[in-house]
Amino acid sequence: MSADRSDASRDGHVLVLDAGSSSLHIALFAADGERVADRDASEPPGPAAAAELRNFLSVVPAPAAVGHRIVHSGPHLTAHTLIDARVRALLADVADLAPLHVTPALRVVDAARELLPDVPHVACFDTVFHKDLPAPARTYAVPERWRAEYGLRRYGFHGLSYSWALRRTAQALGRPVDNLQVVLVHLGGGCSACAVRNGRSVDTTMGFTPLEGLVMSRRSGSLDPGALLWLQRRHGLSTDELDDTLHRQSGLLGLSGSSGDTRDLVRARAEGDAAAALALATFTLSCRRGIASMAASLDRLDALVFTGEIGEDQPEVREEICSALTVLGVRGGLLVPELEDLMREGLRRIDRIDQAVRGVPVFVVATGETQQIAAETRRVLGIADGEVLQRSGNGTADNR
């Protein structure tokens, strides 16, 4: 290790690894929270992940800790935690609850722990934000055996994104987080909405797995379970066929027959593509339903907040969602080209876009999952920004 890389590691750089089913985002953050470098891997997480990570590490300061985004914590891990053998085994046991996300993430965890065996690795969970969901919000109306023995319950997801967006919103409003009641909406490849009351998640649209809730890019969102039973009985669809179709061939892609990307569909609709128009109309209606249902869990609505790739840089979609939410006091989301340019350039982290000062504030928060993972990693290790990371990776956090 070169002298400059050794010095840099003592400054407490945190490496963040965010693995998805077809992507791997790598980022390195300095002790002051500034992004030092990042890279989107050219290959899906798999055998090539180790080589991609090794190449990245060869040209950046050595990290003193690694934070991993893990979508699903399962029932036994309720806090962000150091990864040891026990935690790794627990995560493998729940991988089938979010197979598109957890399985590739664990491949990356293993590769990173092999490449960086002497630094602590921290699992940061999307489910932790929702760990205190009220009993009525987390409970499915199924027999007790299914709930107690099989563990069926609502977990909720996108928590790292929501944590980041919530604090940015509180700062923008000049109010403490624990005095806010807001609806947060994460729109990206996966989509969900969340009701936050006084800093805590009290309801969310995703459930036992990340398949429930809003229409998504390639995922169906909520579907009548009777329809799935009918498809199995009448048409002989296997569990594997249902799984693949609902996770990869549904949502905007299934509706349009052409793309799961809202940018493509907005262009296609403008050219007269009826299927694209139906896909966007179904998607925005699903979002409005989700937002309205979340608002029903609050006493008031202090703000509506959009984040995620679609939420951040797809103004046409935001406008169509907001313009039909006047019943909630929302007066629409402005289409401001200058704002969109600023957001894409990353010059601003949050902007208010509603049309009426007296209406419910509508904010767009630039996606901050990687920054949140870096911050949570530091919290698990018990250090503040700017302090040196010195903990080893042999322990585990309190997961009770």
Q: Could you write out the DSSP letters of every residue in 95-121? A: GGGSTTTHHHHHHHHHHHHHH-TTS-E
Q: How far apart are CA 201 and CA 97, in angstroms?
A: 21
Q: Could you write out the DSSP letters of every residue in 319-361? A: HHHHTT-GGGT---B---HHHHHHHHHT--SEEE-BS-TTS--
Give yes or no: 126 in active site.
yes
Cβ-proximal residues to 357 (8 Å cutoff; 6+ apart), any chain? none
Helix (H) or strand (E) holding 306: strand 303-307
Q: How far apart are CA 380 and CA 111, in angstroms?
A: 21
Among residues 32, 84, 93, 126, the one annotated as catalytic is 126
β-sheet bridge partners, residue 197: 181, 200
The DSSP 8-state label assigned to residue 297 in this structure reads T
What's the full length of the chain, in residues?
A: 400
Phi and psi torsions of 304, nearest 5°: -115, 130
20-38: string of b/e by CB count within 10 Å (b at 16+)? bbeebbbbbbbbeeeeeee
Q: In sequence order, which ranges of 259-336 are alpha helices (DSSP H)?
A: 262-270, 274-295, 308-313, 315-322
Cβ-proximal residues to 53 (8 Å cutoff; 6+ apart), any chain? 17, 26, 108, 111, 112, 115
Q: Could you write out the DSSP letters of every residue in 32-57? A: TS-EEEEEE-SS-SSHHHHHHHHHHH
Cβ-proximal residues to 303 (8 Å cutoff; 6+ apart), any chain? 169, 173, 180, 182, 183, 360, 361, 362, 363
Q: Which two tokens stand for residue 79?
A: 């806090």
Q: Please, are residues 384 and 14 in contact by the beta-carbon 8 Å criterion? A: no
Q: How far is CA 231 from CA 226, 300, 335, 374, in A?
A: 9, 41, 42, 44
What residues are annotated to the active site?
126
